[in-house]
Structure 1
Amino acid sequence: MYDVWWPALLSVTIVVLCGIYVWEMSKSYRKVAKLDLEGIEAFANPAGEESRVDNDCYDLFYSKVYDKIVQPEARAAMEVQVPLEWFKKEGRELDTLRVADLGCGTGLHVELYARAGVHSVAGYDRSEAMVTEARRRFPERKFEVGDMLTATLMPAGSVDLISAYYFLIYMTPDRRTMLRNIYLWLAPGGVFVCHIVNKLKFDPVLESASPFVGFSVQKYADERITGSAVTFEEFEYKGDFQLHGGRGTYEEVFDFRDGRRRRHEQRVWMPNIDVLTAEIQGVGFKILHHVDLTAIGYEYNYLFFFGR
């Protein structure tokens, strides 16, 4: 009897939960999060509305709210573990690996690499505010302000593993220069690991706005859900991803309690996966491996490994 009713009950439960999820997302599900913004001004012009594009979004204010919005903890552990396990299977000792994390943000991946026992690790980000926050959070680690389009960011052949997580590969129109630099910085036999998505099917809803962490039911929705909404004590946050062919934008709006509004627009350049991997191979890389992140709730998200 148990074998009969238990699968049926489980199926009904899944259907009900999926229905609740879609209903909640359709009405812009929100949950409250607390921030420490004492003494931090969110506006260059405190009296008016403000709009920022791409790199200009990443100022002191954003460095303090970024992790609460994006919640990198949900995937960072696996993003670090997967390439390190691959190196171990290839016979490399972790305490010999030199690692660089591009677009390190507030530094979590660098901290996790260090805890795993790599020989050395450094984080690089073009936002001075994000690097300052990373140094505050993890003062024992190395973080540098720098642009991945600058060949002198690090010495040639100086690292064994370079990682680029959370859509970084899409955030510059001059991707070829970035890829050539990465190839230059890697030692022979080094590996470039980057986050790649199916642009038409990945779930753009942020973890902070999702009722169920690490679970996407986009396939149960009539239309793709692209918006995120979160209530903070200081402001209402809304984000929305829009794709137009090979170009995309992620727009953010912060509506403060005093009536002021701050807008962000992050542009992305998103070719299909086969086109993007061909671009990467075009500078000399070889595809070694890829890992599907569906197992941790990120369907149509992948980590690709490219060898020098």
Structure 2
Amino acid sequence: MYSLYTAALSFPGFSPALFEIDLGFLGLGTFPIRWYALAYIAGLVIGWRYALALIRRPALWGGKSPATKDDIDDLLFYATLGVILGGRIGYILFYQIPFQFDTIQRDPISILRIWEGGMSFHGGLLGVAIAILIVAKLRGIRLMPIADIAGVVTPIGLFLGRCTNFINAELYGRPTDAPVGMVFPEGNAGGTPAAYDWQAGEWVYTGAEVPRHPSQLYEACLEGLIPALIISFLVWRFGLLKRPGLSAGLFLLFYGIGRSISEQFREPDRFTWGVMPEWLTMGQLLSMPLWLGGVFLVWNALRKPPMQASA
């Protein structure tokens, strides 16, 4: 089928679901346990466990941990709500209302159908920021150290999420003739997403697909893996958490840089074609405040001496 693109890599063709649960005895057929949902769960649980490991080591904080296990448990609960609600509301505000308002007018209930896709990282980030504010207020703890914990653990969830974008054959890159080009199942030019034939257990190709950058993997590395490794190394080796706000600021900078670079290779959403200028994507535009916030937090953290253990 792809004789013109013999040098292109083939999409591995993973199933979007790890396995399916047979609910036929209830008359509901089968229920797929999707990788995307598992990535959300795994990211939150691993992040929670990592956060607990951080607060159990007072030396990382200059002598006294800023939170207790109960504080982190509360943070997990509110952060979960923030990720889900913020991610969906952000998608509605940043993408559906500006670019797909006619769709909302025709079918207002579509904004509630979260299972059809449509989550915004920037909205989820705002949701988590609100969650951090709520936990700090309710538990009577300092705000910046909790934000720093989020800065350390959030890249884990980002890495897992981008990997599942790849598995789902979504958010693929722009056409390329580079050796890294990969032929994804693309759906059609009208915007219909790629389809997976659950009965046959394979992706459906139209025959018009072209090699594209596997931009999901670029994002997994630039937004998730690299920040997670570097920030964690600085935390455990150089006492990053002794400077309140530094970890959170570095995360914002890493994400802003990584997202801005990867957007050069990622195919823009079809509904933004002709609306956004060719040199700017919505992801880059929404990342600009993160650059500013990151620079401010890093500057503010470095102008103060690190926290030291009390004598």
Q: TM-score, normalised by structure 2?
A: 0.32
Q: TM-score, normalised by structure 1?
A: 0.32
Which structure carries more strand by proportion?
1
